[in-house]
Amino acid sequence: MQRRAAAMYVLFFLVIAVGALAFITLVDGPAEAMDDADYELRQGSTITLEGTEYEVTRIGEFTATMTYTVEEAEHSDTLESGDLVNITGTDYRVEIPDVDEPANFTLVETYPEHDLDTTEDPDGNTLVYIEEDDAWIPEEEYLEETYGPRERIELVTGDTFDFIPEEADSPITATVGDITSAGVEISWIGPAEQSVMLQRNAINNLGGVDYGTIFVGEESFQLTTDIGAFEAHLDAHEVWEERYLGFWGIGVLGVLAAVLIGGLSYLPRRR
């Protein structure tokens, strides 16, 4: 009789477990994507919001990155002695006086490279071989005869000069800041690429406008200005997740209860 009763309880708990597991297997949860989102974007997609063009450069599991260009951003850099600055397509070498408090610095024009044979004289000066003259002459003398005297641009704090930054294609105007023996501070206004990171299933601000952000798998995400619909979408998923976990727990507990009761029913009885 004890084992018959145990078998009935085992069957009861198994039915509950199977029903719970069948529910989470057969019943579909709410759709991952929203029905009426304003935009759905993938990696490489571009979109213009409030006059600014954004490009999706990365979509991860929890965040996405969009980049955009600011036309008038503040830039700064420090020039050290020996650095090269591109002015109208020609490199100029930075020369800072070797004193404690320099009042100025100089941009010295560099010459194009040559393929002549070179050597050094006893004083360490570079000589080049001129084949038609069958003679060695100082390299600086050869370069000045070939290209003319080097241009030298002397600058002090507050001066401006045009140069082409490495990341740009056209000249910009830089302003000279502090000059020290360690380097020269310069600043300028120009385009700069910025980025904004969007959080998964959160409200993100783009161009002063709040957008609900829904990630659809790992390949795309949606943006919507209907924050109410966005929050309702998240609430539906949260309720489904709670029910899913609840039924999963019922299924696991049902199986464990059936196993436990079945095992206890076969324990020897006290006589």
Could you tell me the residue ranges of all domains in the chain?
2-68+199-265, 73-195
pLDDT of residue 71: 84
pLDDT of residue 1: 40
Question: Strand locations in the chain, DSSP E?
Answer: 39-42, 46-49, 52-59, 63-79, 84-87, 90-95, 104-109, 118-120, 126-130, 135-138, 152-156, 160-163, 172-179, 184-199, 202-206, 209-216, 220-224
Residue at 88: amino acid letter: T
In this structure, how many other beta carbons lie within 10 angstroms of the beta carbon of residue 141? Answer: 11
pLDDT of residue 241: 67
| Interacting residues of 163 by C-beta distance below 8 A, sequence separation 6+ | 85, 86, 87, 171, 172, 174
Dist. CA 206–CA 38, nearest whole Å: 14
pLDDT of residue 130: 85
| Interacting residues of 39 by C-beta distance below 8 A, sequence separation 6+ | 47, 222, 223, 224
pLDDT of residue 17: 60
Dist. CA 88–CA 162, nearest whole Å: 8
In this structure, how many other beta carbons lie within 10 angstroms of the beta carbon of residue 137? Answer: 14
Give the global pTM: 0.60
Dist. CA 40–CA 223, nearest whole Å: 6
pLDDT of residue 63: 93
Long-range contacts of the stretch 196-200 (C-beta < 8 A, 24+): 196/54, 196/65, 196/66, 196/67, 196/68, 197/63, 197/64, 197/65, 198/63, 198/64, 198/65, 198/66, 199/62, 199/63, 200/61, 200/62, 200/63, 200/64
pLDDT of residue 68: 94
Q: What is the CA radius of gyration of the chain?
A: 37
Beta strands 172-179 and 184-199, pairing class? antiparallel
pLDDT of residue 251: 63
What one-character-per-residue DSSP string does 91-109 give? Answer: EEEEE--SSSS-SEEEEEE
Q: What angle do CA 254, 257, 262 make, to 5 degrees?
A: 125
Q: Are 27 and 271 in contact (CB under 8 A)?
A: no
List per-residue pLDDT tens for the chain, 271 residues long.
Answer: 455 666 665 666 666 666 656 656 655 556 677 888 899 999 999 999 988 999 999 999 899 999 999 888 899 999 999 999 999 888 999 999 989 899 999 999 998 888 778 788 888 888 878 888 788 888 888 888 888 899 999 999 999 999 988 777 788 899 999 999 999 999 998 888 899 999 998 999 998 899 999 998 888 999 999 998 888 888 776 766 666 566 566 666 666 665 666 665 555 555 5
